[in-house]
Chain A
Amino acid sequence: NAGVTQTPKFRILKIGQSMTLQCTQDMNHNYMYWYRQDPGMGLKLIYYSVGAGITDKGEVPNGYNVSRSTTEDFPLRLELAAPSQTSVYFCASSYGGQGWNEQFFGPGTRLTVL
């Protein structure tokens, strides 16, 4: 199993550009998450999904959009990129919503907006 894969690994955007961060998991997990990690800080939840066709906002959803058309894929869309969106983005998945389920993380996408 590849686990959780993310593409691209690195990206530089200009202010106002758009892009999609890709996330795929092959563990048949129902729950998927997008986090951002700013330097020296913890993880902030952007969006999450409890299954195909169902998504919900996390702590910091502004400036982002998501969709979940399949169990495997959970892309994150940035519209009109801003310098404040410079961060490392992690996708994660878990089997279910029960509190004891651990989350499995991808390797991250490092995004710089100039």
Chain B
Amino acid sequence: GDSVTQMEGPVTLSEEAFLTINCTYTATGYPSLFWYVQYPGEGLQLLLKATKADDKGSNKGFEATYRKETTSFHLEKGSVQVSDSAVYFCALSDPNAGKSTFGDGTTLTVKP
């Protein structure tokens, strides 16, 4: 079945540091890929998505590129802020079904 593997956390960075959170996936078809963010005490919300190979999703300074050849969708940001502290989830969605598969989440803490 489908699966998503995320870089284990927690990740602690200083403000303005470069962020990479690795995500790889296994899927039988050609899934869409997502990054969701969860702030403390809240539900998940979509951060960015990519629906086909070589697409780049971007939002709020975060970027991720759909790499079919390496089955990866790594999240990057050039300069993190304290307000980026949250849990980040990589997810895939089967194009022919209504379900998504989520990674275990990576906790990011950014210190001033």
Interface residues of A (CB under 8 A from B): 4, 31, 33, 40-43, 45, 48, 50, 58, 90, 92, 94, 96-108
Chain B residue total in the interface (Cβ 8 A): 26
Contact at A43–B102, with CB atoms within 8 Å?
yes
User: Given A48-B98, A94-B98, A107-B43: A100 and B104 within 8 A (CB)?
Assistant: no
**Interface of A: prevailing SS:** loop
User: Given A99-B95, A100-B93: A105 and B104 within 8 A (CB)?
Assistant: no
Q: Provide the residues of chain A in CB contact with B96, threshold 8 Å.
A: 97, 99
Q: Identify which of B36, B41, B42, B93 contacts A99 (C-beta below 8 A).
A: B93
Interface residues of B (CB under 8 A from A): 4, 31-32, 34, 36, 41-46, 49, 51, 89, 93-100, 102-105
Contact at A99–B43, with CB atoms within 8 Å?
no
Q: Identify which of A42, A98, A102, A104 contacts B105 (C-beta below 8 A).
A: A42
List 25 A-B residue pairs with CB atoms under 8 Å apart, sorted by A's residue number. Answer: A33-B99, A41-B104, A41-B105, A42-B103, A42-B104, A43-B102, A48-B98, A50-B98, A58-B99, A92-B44, A97-B97, A97-B98, A99-B32, A99-B94, A99-B97, A100-B32, A100-B51, A100-B93, A100-B95, A103-B44, A103-B46, A104-B45, A105-B45, A107-B42, A107-B43
